[in-house]
Structure 1
Amino acid sequence: MSGVLITGATSGIGKQLAQDYARQGLQVLACGRNEAVLNELCEVSTSIIPLRFDLTDFEQTLAVLSELPFIPTLWILNAGGCEYIDDGVMDAQLMARVMQINVLGVANTIEAIQPYLKSGHRVAIVGSIASELALPRAEAYGSSKAAVGYLVRALRLSWASKGIDVTCVFPGFVATPLTEKNTFEMPMMISVESASQAIRCGLAKGVANLYFPARFTWMIRLLGMLPYRWQYQLVSRFFAPKRTRQ
């Protein structure tokens, strides 16, 4: 592996990955919008090169990624956002914001990097275990991550003949600035250090689908394999808000 590009490198999992890969001696292209954090990363290691852009801006993404200082062989598309829809009251603008970063941001990045992709390269795209089971308030976030999962499976088929490998990453709850905003219980949460370790080990092994933490993600996957009627009953019982009597 000659180097790695990481989007969303100024926070959470992406920031930890950038530091850990640099400690392994790899050259790291750290992508993000927060210039201050990018500068901090550069101070941590001279192996980290900052690329500042907003991946929801197609023209900006294309411009910055068209002139890379080196060509990585590992591309980790990690940037993402989360907002919730309360009480099932649709908010189309909220939905658009989440889709813009979680789906179109990924598409913008892929279009920008695809001229560089060659046989032997690996593209890892971070989804979420939330895409495996419908949950209340997750209409926007879960839908966006389900789209990411489908995108990865389709790309895997399309790129197989080119020798480009694709991995979809399905994290459970990870202690990041994003999950700090959550007001609900988050079982079996792990640290960003553990998440980085799981991702780096999984990608080194070349796995196609990477789930962690194992016990929590297996539970969600098993629930997701049940008939929809059973899923609805179980989620309604344990996760959905209770109906109020008039």
Structure 2
Amino acid sequence: MSRVLITGATSGIGKQLAHDYAQQGWQVIACGRNEAALNELRDKHASITPLQFDLTDIDQTLAILSELPFTPTLWILNAGGCEYIDDGVMDAKLMARVMQINVLGLANTIEAIQPHLKSGHRVAIVGSIASELALPRAEAYGASKAAVGYLARSLRLDWARKGIDITCVFPGFVATPLTEKNTFEMPMMISVEHASQSIRKGLEKGVANFYFPARFTWIIRLLGMLPYGWQYRLARRFFAPKRTTS
């Protein structure tokens, strides 16, 4: 039987992945902080085992993940958070919160699962297309996801000799509780069902990096290949908030 561990499984993409993998007959370890949401998943699917912990707490993460009910062959590290910097006014505490979950929380999880990893296993790390292009208000979120992408690519080099594969996932806008808080236009947004299907297909193919939805992420990637001066002008024109006049 196929086995998978998913972090951030209490909402959004992670919750949909847990549901869909269970529907396909996989054994699923669903990880998250929200105990009620985890129990709801377990009640719907007998093949889901919930693990409740806060991955920003290194000691808790190491303790909980040191003993697993079974050893997955697929590990989807999906947990993350998002906050924005308004008007370019730096908020160091906000920056720390975003880095704590998106970067240090990821590092905590990787440290905790690495004793279980074996040749032939695949670790999927969920980044964001926001890491490919500097965008207004994304100083904290974009920087954290750029760090995630670099971490994944670097780790892939070191783990190759161990036979452990890493896939980095770059979603565009997905309709989740996180994006519900956004007050700006989100072009080509897709559903969590679409996101889950894309991720599961990409992981089944074993690709190293994949992006979805295709058209939107290609546009962002192409913009990200331009010289920084061009990127700056285009991002200001199409994404920056408009000036208001009194």
Q: Quickly name the TM-score band, shorter chain normalised.
A: over 0.9
Work out the CA distance in 1 between the residues paired with 2:71 and 2:148.
Answer: 24
Q: Which residue of 2 aligns with 1:191?
A: 191
Q: Which residue of 2 aligns with 1:34?
A: 34
Give how far 1:86 is off. 0.3
User: Gaps spanning 5+ residues in structure 1: where?
Assistant: none
SS in 2 for 1:80: coil
Matched residue count: 246
Which deviations, in whole Å up to 9, do the C-alpha atoms of 1:43-96 show, x marking residues without a partner? Answer: 111000000000000000000000100000000000000000000000000000
Give how far 1:244 is off. 5.2
Work out the CA distance in 2 between the residues paired with 1:242 and 1:78.
Answer: 33
SS in 1 for 2:30: strand
Matched, 1:144 2:129: no
Work out the CA distance in 2 between the residues paired with 1:205 and 1:50.
Answer: 27
Give how far 1:241 is off. 2.4
**Where does 1:36-75 land on structure 2 (aligned, <5 Å)?**
36-75=36-75
Work out the CA distance in 2 between the residues paired with 1:58 and 1:149.
Answer: 21
SS in 2 for 1:88: coil
Give how far 1:245 is off. 6.2
* 2:148 alignment partner AA: V
Work out the CA distance in 1 between the residues paired with 2:102 and 2:202.
Answer: 22
SS in 1 for 2:50: strand
* 1:151 alignment partner AA: L
Work out the CA distance in 2 between the residues paired with 1:239 and 1:204.
Answer: 34
* Amino-acid identity (%): 85
* 2:102 alignment partner AA: N
Give how far 1:12 is off. 0.2
SS in 2 for 1:64: helix
Give how far 1:243 is off. 4.1
Q: Which residue of 2 aligns with 1:17?
A: 17
TM-score (norm 2): 0.98
User: Gaps spanning 5+ residues in structure 2: where?
Assistant: none
**Where does 1:1-246 land on structure 2 (aligned, <5 Å)?**
2-243=2-243
Work out the CA distance in 1 between the residues paired with 2:54 and 2:206.
Answer: 29
RMSD: 1.0
Work out the CA distance in 2 between the residues paired with 1:179 and 1:78.
Answer: 15
SS in 1 for 2:140: helix
Work out the CA distance in 2 between the residues paired with 1:132 and 1:33.
Answer: 29
* 2:182 alignment partner AA: N
SS in 2 for 1:5: strand
* 2:114 alignment partner AA: Q
Work out the CA distance in 2 between the residues paired with 1:175 and 1:243.
Answer: 28
SS in 2 for 1:29: strand
Work out the CA distance in 1 between the residues paired with 2:56 and 2:168.
Answer: 20
SS in 2 for 1:221: helix
Work out the CA distance in 1 between the residues paired with 2:35 and 2:245.
Answer: 51
Give how far 1:162 is off. 0.4
* 1:222 alignment partner AA: L
Assess, with a 3 A threshold, how the Cα gap between structure 1 residues 244 and 180 changes in structure 2: closer, same or farther.
closer
SS in 1 for 2:87: helix
SS in 2 for 1:69: coil
Work out the CA distance in 2 between the residues paired with 1:189 and 1:60.
Answer: 35
